Chains A and B, each alone.
Chain A
Amino acid sequence: MTPVTAAQAKSKEKDTLLPDRQRALLRQMLLIRRFEEKAAEAYALGKIGGFCHLYIGQEAVAVGSIAALRDDDYVICSYREHGQALVRGIPANAVMAELCGKATGCSHGKGGSMHLFDAKRHFMGGHGIVGGHIPLAAGIGFGIKYKGGDQVCLCYFGEAAVNIGAFHEALNMSAVWKLPVVFICENNRYGMGTAFERVAALTDVAEHAKSYDMASAEVDGMDVFAVYEATQKAVAQAREGKPTLLEVRTYRFMGHSMSDPLHGVYRTKEEVEEQKKRDPIAALTHHLRDEGTMDQPAIDALDAEVHAEVDQAAKFADESPDPEPDALFQHVLAD
C-alpha cells in the first residue's frame, strides 16, 4: 500500500500543465458555475422540477479529476452530477434540456437532474440512491478487466455515502479483484443537513481504505491542480489493477438541493461565508493572473463566452419539445 499524502497531493502540477490546459480547466469550472447559476434561475421559474442538486463550490473536483482521464475511460456519479456531465463533454444544451425534462435532453427527458446519461461518452449516469452506484463502478471495473481493457472508472460520491454498506462491499471486492476503479469521495462536510462528524465514527474518509488494503489520498478539493495530480496518480495505478480511494475535501456553497436552505439549523451563514473565501474558481484565477497566464480582461472574456454558452443552453431547453406522449411506454424493456 502506498498512500499518497496530502502534502504530496499539494501539487507542482500547475507548473507542468501547459497554459492552454490551465485555461481549459478554468473554462470548465466557469462553465459549471454559470450553468448551475442558470439552473437555479430556471428552477425558481419552475422550468426545472423535482430535486436539483447544484455543484457550486465543488467545481475543482470534477474538473481536476476528469482532466486525468482518457476519452474511453468511464465516469459514474451520484445525483450531484451536472458538473461531471459537462466536463465529460455532454453539451450544455443536452444537460440543461434534461434538467427541464425535454426530449432533447441527454436522457431524452426520462432521467432529469439526477439521472444524466451518455453512453457514447461513457458517462454511466447520475444515480439517486446514496451509495447505490458505488458497486456499479466496481462492476464497470469488472467489465473492463473481463474484456482485457486498460480503461478506468472514476466513481464520485459524497461523504455521507461512506456510512452505507454498498460503499464497503464495493471497496472490498474492488481490492480483492484488483479492479481499475478510482473512488472519489467528495467530502463537502454535510449529508443534506447532517454534519459528517455527527454521524461518522471516523471522519477521515481516506482512512477507510486501510480496511480494504487499498491506496488512498486526502486531497484539497479547492485546488484543481491538486485534484488533477492526485487523480492522475490514482488513474495510473488503477490501469495497473490497483484501485484507490481519494478523499477530496470540498464544500458546497448552496443548499443540499434547490428545495433546501443554504444555511440555518445545520450550518451558519458565517461558516458558508468563510468557506467562500476558498472558492476554487477564485483560487485558480488568482493563480493564472499571478503567473501571467491570463490577465483580468482575458478572464472576463472567457466568463462572457461561458455565459453566452449557458444562455444558449437555457434557450435551447426552453425551445425544445417535451417527449412525445408515447415515450411514456418506451424503454421499459429492450427488444
Chain B
Amino acid sequence: MPTLTYRDALNQALREEMQRDPTVFLMGEEVGLYQGAYKVSRGLLEEFGPQRIVDTPIAELGFAGIGVGAAMTGLRPVVEFMTWNFAVLALDQIVNSAAKMLYMSGGQFPMPIVFRGPNGAALQLGAQHSQAWESWLAHIPGLKVVAPATPADAKGLLKSAIRDNNPVIVLEGEMLYNTKGEVPDGELVIPIGQADIKRPGTDVTVICHSKTVTVALKAADLLQEAGVSAEVVDLRSLRPLDETAIINSVTKTNRCVVVEEGWHHCGVGAQVVDIIQRDAFDHLDAPVLRVTQADVPMPYNKVLERAAKSSPEKVVAAARRVLYLD
C-alpha cells in the first residue's frame, strides 16, 4: 500500500474529485499560482486552470459567500481557508447562509459546499493563530463536520465531503500535513459519521479526533507499559457523531477519557460525555474525565504553550485516575 503525507492525500482527493466532476472547483487564498499556503493544492492550477482553481483576495467573508452563491446554482465549491482562524470572518456565511439555506427555503436549495483548511494549534503561532474551532462549528444544525487524523481518513473523508449535498466542514490538523500513512490505492470514500477504532483495548476508552489521535496513541503506548490496555476511538466525524461507536467502546471498557485540542468549556468532549452519561450510565465504573487545552488564549512562549496543550502524559494521568490507579 502506498505511503502518502496527509497533505498529498488531500491533494489526491481534490484532484480525483475534480477529474470526476466538472462542477467541483477550488477557491481560496493562494490556492493557485502559489500552490497553496500548505501546498495542499500543489499542481492543481496546472491541471485544471484558473477557472477551477481560483485565487481570491484576502476576503474570507466575501469568497465564502461567493461559494455559497455558486452552490445555489448547482456547482460544488471547495472553499479553502488559509486557516480556520481566518474563517471566523466568514462565519456569517457558513452559519447563516450555508447551514440554513436548505431549511429556510423549505428544501429548495441544497448546499453542496465544502469549507476546509487547517485547524488547531501549530507551534508558537500565538493566540490568534492557535485555535481549535470544532465545537463552534459542530454546534450548528445543517452542517456536517469532519476532522480526519490520518492520510487515509483525510482522503476518504474529503472525497465524501465533496460528494455530499450538504455543507461539510473539513478540519485539517495543522500539525498533521507532514505526517505519513498508508493510503489504499484506488477509490477511497469514507462515509461521514463513522468513528474508527485506531487501537483496540479493554481497560479504558480514549476518545479523540484529529491531532489528539496521535496524542492518544502515544498515551496508549505509555499505558501499555504499565499494563493498561487502552482503546483509542477516533471520532473522525463530529457532526454527526458516531454515538454507537462511543457507547460500544465504553460499554466494553467501563471507563473513559475524552481528549481534544479545544477549550474545556462547551467543548466537543462535553457532548461526548453527555452521550455516555445518558446511554452508558450503568456501565461506568468511574466518572468520565476530559483532557483539553488550558482555559487560556494560547501563549507564544514555548514552555507555556506546551503546558497549555493536551499531551500523552496528561491523557495517561487522566486514564490512571479513571482506573483508580492514582
A and B from one complex: yes
Q: Does A281 contact B (CB under 8 A)?
A: no
Closest to B111 in A: A334
A330 to B106, CA, bound (A): 8
A335 to B107, CA, bound (A): 11
Please give the number of chain B residues whose Cβ is less than 8 angstroms from any Cβ of chain A in the complex. 41
Closest to B27 in A: A142
Nearest 4 pairs of A and B residues by beta carbon: A139-B69, A135-B65, A169-B62, A143-B73
Q: Does B266 contact A (CB under 8 A)?
A: no
Interface string of A27-39 (1 = CB under 8 A from B): 0000000000000
- Say whether, besides A135-B93, A173-B57, A334-B110, A142 and B104 are in contact (CB < 8 Å): no
Binding site for B on A (CB under 8 A): 74, 76, 105-111, 115, 117-119, 124-125, 127-129, 132-144, 146-147, 165-166, 169-170, 172-173, 176, 330-335
Closest to A327 in B: B106
With beta carbons under 8 angstroms apart, the residue of B69, B103, B165, B166 that contacts A138 is B69
A173 to B63, CA, bound (A): 8
With beta carbons under 8 angstroms apart, the residue of A107, A128, A139 that contacts B105 is A107
Q: Does B144 contact A (CB under 8 A)?
A: yes
Q: Does B304 contact A (CB under 8 A)?
A: no
Closest to B144 in A: A333
Could you pull out 7 A-B pairs where Cβ atoms are within 8 angstroms?
A: A107-B105, A117-B106, A125-B101, A132-B93, A135-B62, A332-B102, A335-B165
Q: Does B141 contact A (CB under 8 A)?
A: yes
- Known contacts A139-B66, A143-B75, A172-B57; 10 additional CB pairs below 8 A are A115-B105, A119-B105, A119-B108, A132-B93, A135-B69, A137-B69, A331-B103, A331-B106, A331-B107, A334-B110
Across the interface, do A110 and B106 meet the contact criterion of CB distance under 8 Å?
A: yes
Interface residues of B in 67-110 (CB under 8 A from A): 67-75, 92-93, 96-97, 101-110
Task: For B110, list chain A residues within 8 Å (CB).
Answer: 334
Across the interface, do A166 and B62 meet the contact criterion of CB distance under 8 Å?
A: yes
Task: For A105, list chain B residues within 8 Å (CB).
Answer: 106
Closest to B75 in A: A143
Across the interface, do A330 and B107 meet the contact criterion of CB distance under 8 Å?
A: yes
Across the interface, do A147 and B73 meet the contact criterion of CB distance under 8 Å?
A: yes
Across the interface, do B69 and A117 meet the contact criterion of CB distance under 8 Å?
A: no
Across the interface, do A170 and B165 meet the contact criterion of CB distance under 8 Å?
A: no
Task: For B96, list chain A residues within 8 Å (CB).
Answer: 128-129, 132
Query: How close is B313's CB to chain A, nearest CB, in angstroms?
Result: 40
Across the interface, do B61 and A135 meet the contact criterion of CB distance under 8 Å?
A: yes
Task: For B166, list chain A residues within 8 Å (CB).
Answer: 333-334
Across the interface, do A332 and B142 meet the contact criterion of CB distance under 8 Å?
A: yes
Query: How close is A304's CB to chain B, nearest CB, in angstroms?
Result: 33
Across the interface, do B103 and A110 meet the contact criterion of CB distance under 8 Å?
A: yes
With beta carbons under 8 angstroms apart, the residue of B70, B92, B104 that contacts A140 is B70
**Number of A-B contacts defined by CB within 8 Å:** 149
A119 to B71, CA, bound (A): 13
- Say whether, besides A107-B105, A107-B108, A146-B51, A136 and B69 are in contact (CB < 8 Å): yes
Across the interface, do A139 and B72 meet the contact criterion of CB distance under 8 Å?
A: yes
Q: Does B64 contact A (CB under 8 A)?
A: yes
Task: For B70, list chain A residues within 8 Å (CB).
Answer: 139-140, 142-143, 146
Closest to B98 in A: A136
A220 to B112, CA, bound (A): 40
Query: How close is A91's CB to chain B, nearest CB, in angstroms?
Result: 15
A144 to B75, CA, bound (A): 10
- Say whether, besides A136-B65, A169-B61, A173-B63, A109 and B106 are in contact (CB < 8 Å): yes
Task: For A142, list chain B residues within 8 Å (CB).
Answer: 66, 69-70, 75
Across the interface, do B142 and A125 meet the contact criterion of CB distance under 8 Å?
A: no
Q: Does B56 contact A (CB under 8 A)?
A: yes
Across the interface, do B72 and A173 meet the contact criterion of CB distance under 8 Å?
A: no
Across the interface, do A170 and B104 meet the contact criterion of CB distance under 8 Å?
A: no
Task: For A133, list chain B residues within 8 Å (CB).
Answer: 65, 97
Across the interface, do B65 and A134 meet the contact criterion of CB distance under 8 Å?
A: yes
Interface residues of B in 16-75 (CB under 8 A from A): 25, 51, 56-57, 59, 61-75
Task: For B56, list chain A residues within 8 Å (CB).
Answer: 173
- Say whether, besides A110-B103, A143-B74, A173 and B108 are in contact (CB < 8 Å): no
A106 to B105, CA, bound (A): 8
Query: Max chain A CB contacts within 10 Å: which of B51, B70, B75?
Result: B70
Across the interface, do B72 and A136 meet the contact criterion of CB distance under 8 Å?
A: yes
A332 to B102, CA, bound (A): 7
Task: For B92, list chain A residues within 8 Å (CB).
Answer: 129, 132, 166
Task: For A139, list chain B residues within 8 Å (CB).
Answer: 65-73
Task: For B72, list chain A residues within 8 Å (CB).
Answer: 124, 136, 139-140, 143
Across the interface, do B105 and A125 meet the contact criterion of CB distance under 8 Å?
A: yes
A132 to B65, CA, bound (A): 8
A134 to B68, CA, bound (A): 11
Query: How close is A14's CB to chain B, nearest CB, in angstroms?
Result: 34
Query: How close is B25's CB to chain A, nearest CB, in angstroms?
Result: 7
Task: For A172, list chain B residues within 8 Å (CB).
Answer: 57, 59, 62
A166 to B62, CA, bound (A): 6
- Say whether, besides A331-B103, A332-B141, A334-B165, A117 and B62 are in contact (CB < 8 Å): no
Closest to A146 in B: B75
Task: For B103, list chain A residues within 8 Å (CB).
Answer: 110, 331-332
Closest to A135 in B: B65
Task: For A147, list chain B residues within 8 Å (CB).
Answer: 73-75
Task: For B64, list chain A residues within 8 Å (CB).
Answer: 135
Across the interface, do A135 and B68 meet the contact criterion of CB distance under 8 Å?
A: yes
Query: How close is B112's CB to chain A, nearest CB, in angstroms?
Result: 8
Query: How close is A249's CB to chain B, nearest CB, in angstroms?
Result: 26
Across the interface, do B93 and A140 meet the contact criterion of CB distance under 8 Å?
A: no
Task: For B109, list chain A residues within 8 Å (CB).
Answer: 117, 119, 124-125
Task: For A129, list chain B residues within 8 Å (CB).
Answer: 92, 96
Task: For A107, list chain B residues within 8 Å (CB).
Answer: 104-106, 108
A169 to B106, CA, bound (A): 29
Query: How close is A162's CB to chain B, nearest CB, in angstroms?
Result: 15
A331 to B102, CA, bound (A): 6
